[in-house]
Amino acid sequence: MRRLRTLPLTVAILSAGLVLTACGGGSSSDSASAKDSSPATPSATAGSGTDTAATPSPVDSASAATTTNGGGSSSSGGSTGSPASSQGSGGSSGGQRCRTADLAMSVAPGSGAQSVGSAGPVIIKMTNHGSRSCTMKGYPGVDLVGGGQTWSLSRQTSVAPHATTVAPGGSTSFTITYMPYSAGSGRQLDVKTIVITPPNETVSTDVPWEFQPVLLQDGATHPATYVGPVGS
Give the C-alpha separation, 23 to 31, whole Å. Answer: 13
pLDDT at 97: 94
pLDDT in tens, 117-145: 899 999 999 999 999 999 999 999 999 99
Q: Are residues 122 and 200 in the same domain?
A: yes
Rounded to two decimals, the pTM is 0.59
25 and 132 in a single domain? The answer is no
Is the domain of 70 the same as that of 13? Answer: no
pLDDT band, very low/low/confident/very high, at 95 (cuts 50, 70, 90)? low
How far apart are alpha carbons 19 and 24 in whole angstroms?
9
Region 206-225 average pLDDT: 96
My answer on whether 74 and 108 are in the same domain is no
> Closest by alpha carbon to 224, among 173, 187, 183?
187
Rg of the chain over CA atoms, in angstroms?
49
- Residues 96-111 as b/e (b if ≥16 CB within 10 A, e otherwise) read bbbeeebbebebeeeb
- Say whether both 192 and 223 belong to one domain: yes
Tell me: do 32 and 11 sit in the same domain: yes
Instruction: Report which of residues 63 and 212 the model is more confident about.
Output: 212
Read off the pLDDT of each residue in 43-70 and give the average, rounded to a whole number. Answer: 36
Domain span including residue 199: 100-227
Determine the pLDDT at residue 10: 43
pLDDT at 209 over 70: yes
* 126 and 189 housed in the same domain: yes
Average pLDDT over residues 173-186: 95
Tell me the CATH number at 223: 2.60.40
Q: Same structural domain for residues 10 and 122?
A: no
Q: Are residues 105 and 85 in the same domain?
A: no
Residue 155 near residue 227 (C-beta atoms within 8 A)? yes
- The answer on 213 and 156 residing in a single domain is yes
One DSSP character per residue, 102-150 reads GEEEEEPTT-S-SSTTS-EEEEEEEEE-SSS-EEE-S--EEEEEETTEE
What are the angstrom distances between the C-alpha of 194 and each of 6, 201, 208? 149, 16, 6
pLDDT above 70 (res 89): no
Tell whether 109 is covered by a domain.
yes
- Quick: pLDDT tens for 18-48: 333 444 444 444 444 444 444 444 443 344 4
Q: What is the mean pLDDT of residues 216-223?
A: 95
Domain count, the chain: 3
Q: Is residue 26 one of the residues assigned to a domain?
A: yes
Q: Which helix (H) or strand (E) holds 227?
A: strand 226-227
Q: Examine residue 232 and state whether it is found in any structural domain, yes or no.
A: no
User: Parallel, antiparallel, or unpaired for β 226-227 and 154-155?
Assistant: parallel
